[in-house]
Amino acid sequence: MGTISTYAAQSLAAVRTSFADRTNFALQVLGMSVNNGFWLVLWFLFFAGFREVGGWRLGDVARMLGVIYTLFGLATVFFGGYRDLGGAILRGEIDPLLTQPKPILPRLLARESIPSAWGDLLTGIAILSFSARLDLGGVGLVVAAIAIGMTAWLSTAVTFASMAFWFAGGRSLSRDLMDFTLMVSTYPASIYSGWVKIVAFTVLPAGFVAVAPVGLMRDPSWQAAALAVGGAVAYAALALTVFHLGLRWYRRGATPGS
């Protein structure tokens, strides 16, 4: 409970800080909302000519985008430190935390909140309110899909950022990999085949960020739930393992690349 309360206090402080410049905050939220709306319009135009892609219709893609925008918004508002976790490692910002009893990773994740992410969160909720089935069962599936996808997304971010413990280029490489993962996550599952599908469910787990959670919404079953939850749990375990291995290396006084 102490860890949760510490994280909550630090995260809320970061959120309040992001509100400090109201004009900048409003412009960032508006800009991101317009950007997301433009991307959705492109899909509307696409499906005006092609009714479906591999069994995916406009409603399926809208739900997928709604889930992605919402989980990305929640992650970046309340766990925004993941965005430059590699940079925090390289700058030695872990050092003051090493002498404190609280777990380090939650504090690193809670130290920043990105204002523009509220635009993602608002547009995601708006899209889901129109495209998803919002009876009791439907809301439960939406919440589950968002929780599963956000777990996979944050776990992937921590795993990639932890490369900065071992080499200085880990920061830029991790950000590039996360941007590519997000891009791949915004396309229907029907584009995945062969090696692309293997990569999407392993190295760049876009499949567990979006495809598996949305698949659970589209066709609820124990098999779909096991795939989605199992993937998220596996990547969470991987993230914790890699981060703590890197932290152990860091405690020994090793520098990236040594």
Q: What share of the chain is helix, strand, coil (3-state, %, to 5)?
A: 80, 0, 20
Structural domain contains residue 67: yes
Give the count of alpha carbons within 13 A of 34, CB side only: 6
What distance separates the 2 farthest-apart alpha carbons in the chain? 60
Q: What single string gives the DSSP state of each residue in 57-116?
A: -HHHHHHHHHHHHHHHHHHHHHSGGGGGHHHHHHTTTTHHHHTSSS-HHHHHHTT---TT
**At residue 69, does pLDDT exceed 60?**
yes
Which of 124, 125, 121 lies closest to 76, judged by CA? Answer: 121
Structural domain contains residue 207: yes
Are 38 and 123 in contact, with CB atoms under 8 Å apart?
A: no
How does 112-138 read in b/e, with b if 16+ C-beta sit within 10 Å? bbbbbbbbbbbbbebbbeebbeeeeee
Structural domain contains residue 257: no
Question: For residues 76 and 100, what is the distance between their CA atoms, to the nearest angstrom?
Answer: 25
The reply to whether the predicted model has a pTM over 0.85 is: yes
Q: Is 201 helix (H, G, I), strand (E, B) or coil?
A: coil
Please report which confidence band the pLDDT of residue 254 belongs to, taking 50, 70 and 90 as the band edges: low
Question: pLDDT of 14-42, one tens digit each?
Answer: 999 988 888 999 999 999 999 998 988 98
Percent of residues, the chain, with pLDDT higher than 70: 92
**At residue 132, does pLDDT exceed 80?**
no
Q: Which domain holds residue 19?
A: 2-251
Number of domains in the chain: 1
**At residue 136, does pLDDT exceed 70?**
no
Structural domain contains residue 22: yes
pLDDT at site 256: 64
Structural domain contains residue 102: yes
pLDDT at site 205: 82
Structural domain contains residue 76: yes
pLDDT at site 232: 94
Structural domain contains residue 258: no
Question: pLDDT of 192-244, one tens digit each?
Answer: 677 767 776 777 788 889 888 988 888 889 999 999 999 999 999 999 999 99
pLDDT at site 60: 85
Question: For residues 32 and 52, what is the distance between their CA atoms, to the nearest angstrom?
Answer: 27
Amino acid sitting at position 13? A
**At residue 147, does pLDDT exceed 70?**
yes
Please report which confidence band the pLDDT of residue 139 belongs to, taking 50, 70 and 90 as the band edges: confident
Structural domain contains residue 256: no
